[in-house]
Amino acid sequence: MAFISDPVSFIGAWLEGLLLGWGLAPGAVDFIMKLIGAGLLGMISLGLVIFTIWMERKLYARIQDRFGPNRVGPWGIFQTFPDMIKIFTKEYITPDGADKVVYNLAPILAVSAVILIWAVLPFAPTVVGTQVNVGVLYIVAVGAIGTLSLIMAGWSSNNKYALLGAFRAVAQMVSYEVPMVLSLLVPVILSRSMGLNTIVEKQTIWYVVLAPLAMLIFFISSQAEIGRAPFDLLEAESEIVAGYQTEYSGLKFGMFYVGEFLHAFTVSALMTALFFGGWRGPLAEQFPILGIAYFIVKAFIVYFIVIVLRISMPRLRIDQLLNFNWKFLTPIALFLLMITAIFEKALSQVDASTLVRVVTHLLVNIFVTLGTVEILRRYSRGERKRVAEPRPVATPQKP
């Protein structure tokens, strides 16, 4: 029964007992267990990409009224394997004048920065890579390594387009980190914890109900962090070839590709943990295996929305991108954070019931949203008036 309800912990406990039985020191056993866990997590996450690439290509094709991959296996589900073999056999080309060490290090960092996030994802009450009590901060910190890898790739390629892509990547990622962190702090305030598993445990009512606006801000800014459409300026094909990955070929390019797909799914999993109740669901606490199932199903639903967004949106211009971040997302995230903190403190002072708390937070979010929409409406009206004014195409030069 223990095996059926919680296979991961069961096997873990069994293996630990076995290793201890062989007379290994407890410290060494702990080390080996952590090593196995980390290896498994990395393999599972990379293996999952094989499936998500197929899923994304299939959906992409369906929305564009095509079939998509449909030759290898049923519904083309094994299409990624031939692609993988192809990319393994491709030649590596290192451009002349490239900075070799940095050039080769960048793709590795790009993937590892994403896999590092998996260390703190709570898949089930008992299945967590490691319990970091500053998990939310850890996620943001690890994201910085991803940004670093893009700069390294762009700089070391000895290519102007690659460097331009790197510049764009930094401008975009550093800016969008601000609203992302601010919106991440809202679940932290609501749950009084920075540990991801504690945040999930506290979500008797999903935080998407208590903080829908924070969820939206996090969703948008995390899309920019991944760097896909509509925020794919760092690899805009029509402008800068392929951005930071212009000079990469073979598996080195594949690493960036895998990193991007994995990041998209990882962000969906994070959204699930932070706002959609993570592993929570009926009977999940008694049977952790159900928790894993709920978590994966929810993550895939979010991932579906991520894909649809990517397919249906045109690319932004760089000034639109930065204006949207600094003039819209950041102020609203700051305001929301402050107002949530004030209301949460006030509600905890008067010992409000769960219902009152939920309704208050929901109302606050609705009012902030309405206010934002009103401000946006006035702004766009002014903009339209400004654009509609007749402007002389060429003004005569003053003598």
Long-range contacts of 298-303 (CB under 8 A, 24+ apart): 298/272, 299/265, 299/268, 299/269, 299/271, 299/272, 300/268, 302/268, 302/269, 302/271, 302/272, 302/276, 303/52, 303/55, 303/264, 303/265, 303/268
Size of the site for other proteins (CB under 8 A): 30
Residue 362 touches other proteins, criterion: CB under 8 A:
no
- 170 touches other proteins (CB under 8 A): yes
345 binds other proteins (CB under 8 A): no
Q: Per rule CB under 8 A, is residue 145 in the interface with other proteins? A: yes
Tell whether residue 19 is a contact of other proteins (CB under 8 A).
no
* Helix pair angle (354-388, 330-349), 10° resolution: 160
Considering beta carbons, is residue 46 or 102 the nearer one to other proteins? 102
Say which residue the tokens 């928790």 belong to.
291
Query: Is 128 or 194 the residue whose CB approaches other proteins more closely?
Result: 194
Closest CA to 294 of 9, 183, 286, 118: 286
Name the DSSP class of 188: H
Map the footprint of other proteins across residues 176-215, applying CB under 8 A. Answer: 177, 193-194
Comparing CB distances to other proteins, the nearer of 33 and 134 is 134
- Select 31 or 81, whichever has its Cβ closest to other proteins: 31
Nearest by Cα to 315 from 208, 224, 196, 211:
224
* 241 binds other proteins per the rule CB under 8 A: no
The interface mask with other proteins, positions 72-111, x = CB under 8 A, is -------------------------x-x--x---------
- Restricting to residues 20-49, which ones interact with other proteins according to CB under 8 A? 27, 31
CA-CA-CA-CA dihedral for 273, 275, 279, 282, to nearest 10: 180
Helices (H), 126-206: 135-156, 160-191, 196-201
d(CA 132, CA 195): 6
Closer residue to other proteins (CB): 94 or 158: 158
- Smallest distance, other proteins to C-beta of residue 277, A: 22
Instruction: Report, in Å, the least distance between residue 330 CB and other proteins.
Output: 13
Q: Using CA atoms, how far apart are residues 212 and 332, in angstroms rounded to an integer?
A: 13
Specify the residue, 119 or 364, whose C-beta has the smaller distance to other proteins: 119
Nearer to other proteins, 147 or 365 (CB): 147
| Residue 148 or 352 with smaller CB distance to other proteins | 148
CB 41 within 8 A of CB 47: no
174 binds other proteins, rule: CB under 8 A: yes
Q: Specify the residue for token string 């639903």.
A: 301
> For residue 353, what are its two tokens?
């019931």
Residue pair 235/165 in contact by the 8 Å Cβ criterion: yes
**Contact call for residue 141 and other proteins (CB under 8 A):** yes
Residue ranges binding other proteins (CB under 8 A): 27, 31, 97, 99, 102, 132-134, 137-138, 140-145, 147-148, 151-152, 155, 158, 163, 166-167, 170, 174, 177, 193-194
